[in-house]
């Protein structure tokens, strides 16, 4: 394949996609409209899965025979916030320098989206026996929430892929496993009192401290599990991530809220961890709190759950990705992707995409142009395979 033309197109498309500020709390519809128009220009029909308010949408399209289970090329359109003051240049204007493209989302993961779109003309001219599905989602960065309604449509309104390649930045390494974040919000209600009359109040922050102490004990147990050295660190992590409580230094705090997360490895009993902390709250904390304040309460609510990912040991798509990437071994990562959700829907998945995860979410985020070239070559070999 003459790489020059697709490379030029991929760089241009990266520039165009980055120019859409799709920070997760904003709409992605302008970007989706651009992609829909681009695909229509190549005779490809897009199917949208919008939110109820219409502010956001995922996009599904097929190049090749319709209604046939093919290979999904999956990526998210949203990005994390960018503080312009921390950047050397405008985060949403791509700057090309020293063989790199700088801009929010270049690595995570609009560079991959651009590669897929840049290859569409080549995909289109081929006689694909196995179709290639374009699967673009929203709100991955806030808990992989946008891809879920689209996955629910697979096998119904949308063709269920035979397999999915998730193009998160892996430096084009083939990833067959990752951890999954599970997050909880804890709300503690005690009773306020003058701080000189502490015995009349129920200190919600103190109760939070007891719960956090139990979480610390669970964390130590997780760290002591047999290590899996494919991950860094080689054990599931647990940490308190935020906390707030009290209104003044001379008032016994009546409320406290905190959040904690577990980065679960495949096979971890996450529900068991939740049951344990709920049981501790109910048996060790609430009886004492309610002796003085019957209205006292502790609410522990799971706020988001992204499943860990482990590809099947005999997975066709992992073997295919290794062949296309010219590699012999897979690796695992500690960050999360949408692969576990596809896998849970019985769509075999693998993660492989351009860019270095170390650049994701940073000021002056960048992707090497050489990574884009490698991704284009990977997609070209995929098209060769899909032609049979």
Catalytically active residues are 78, 140
82, 26 in Cβ contact below 8 A?
A: no
Q: What is the CB-side half-sphere exposure of residue 66 using CA atoms within 13 A?
A: 9
137, 166 in Cβ contact below 8 A?
A: no
49, 134 in Cβ contact below 8 A?
A: no
Q: What are phi and psi of 107, to 5 degrees?
A: -85, -40
Considering Cα of 60, then 127, then 170, then 320, what sign does the dihedral take? positive
């Amino acid at each position: 394949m003459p790489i020059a033309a697709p490379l030029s197109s991929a760089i241009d498309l990266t520039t165009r996609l980055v120019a859409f500020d799709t920070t997760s709390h904003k709409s992605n519809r302008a970007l989706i409209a651009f992609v829909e128009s681009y695909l229509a220009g190549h005779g490809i029909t897009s199917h949208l899965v919008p939110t109820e308010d219409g502010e956001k949408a995922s996009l599904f399209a097929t190049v090749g025979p319709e209604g046939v289970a093919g290979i999904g090329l999956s990526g998210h359109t949203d990005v994390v916030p960018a503080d312009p003051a921390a950047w050397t240049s405008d985060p949403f204007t791509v700057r090309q320098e020293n063989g790199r493209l700088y801009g929010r989302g270049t690595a995570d993961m609009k560079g991959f989206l651009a590669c897929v779109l840049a290859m569409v003309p080549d995909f289109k001219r081929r006689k694909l026996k196995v179709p290639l599905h374009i699967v673009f989602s929203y709100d991955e960065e806030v808990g992989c929430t946008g891809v879920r309604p689209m996955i629910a449509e697979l096998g119904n309104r949308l063709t269920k892929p035979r397999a999915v390649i998730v193009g998160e930045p892996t430096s084009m390494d083939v990833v067959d496993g990752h951890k999954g974040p599970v997050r909880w919000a804890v709300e503690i209600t005690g009773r306020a009192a003058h701080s000189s009359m502490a015995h009349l109040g129920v200190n919600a922050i103190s109760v939070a401290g007891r719960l956090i102490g139990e979480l610390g004990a669970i964390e130590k147990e997780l760290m002591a599990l047999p290590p899996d050295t494919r991950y860094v660190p080689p054990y599931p992590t647990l940490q308190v991530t935020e906390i707030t409580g009290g209104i003044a230094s001379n008032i016994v705090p009546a409320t406290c809220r905190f959040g904690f997360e577990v980065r679960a490895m495949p096979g971890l009993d996450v529900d068991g961890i939740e049951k344990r902390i709920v049981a501790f709250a109910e048996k060790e904390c609430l009886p004492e709190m309610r002796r003085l304040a019957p209205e006292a309460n502790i609410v522990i609510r799971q706020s988001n759950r992204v499943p860990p990912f482990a590809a099947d040991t005999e997975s066709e798509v992992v073997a295919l990705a290794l062949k296309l990437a010219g590699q012999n071994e897979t690796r695992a990562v500690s960050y999360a992707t949408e692969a576990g959700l596809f896998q849970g829907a019985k769509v075999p998945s693998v993660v492989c995409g351009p860019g270095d995860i170390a650049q994701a979410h940073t000021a002056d985020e960048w992707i090497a142009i050489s990574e884009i070239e490698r991704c284009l070559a990977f997609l070209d070999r995929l098209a060769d395979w899909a032609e049979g």
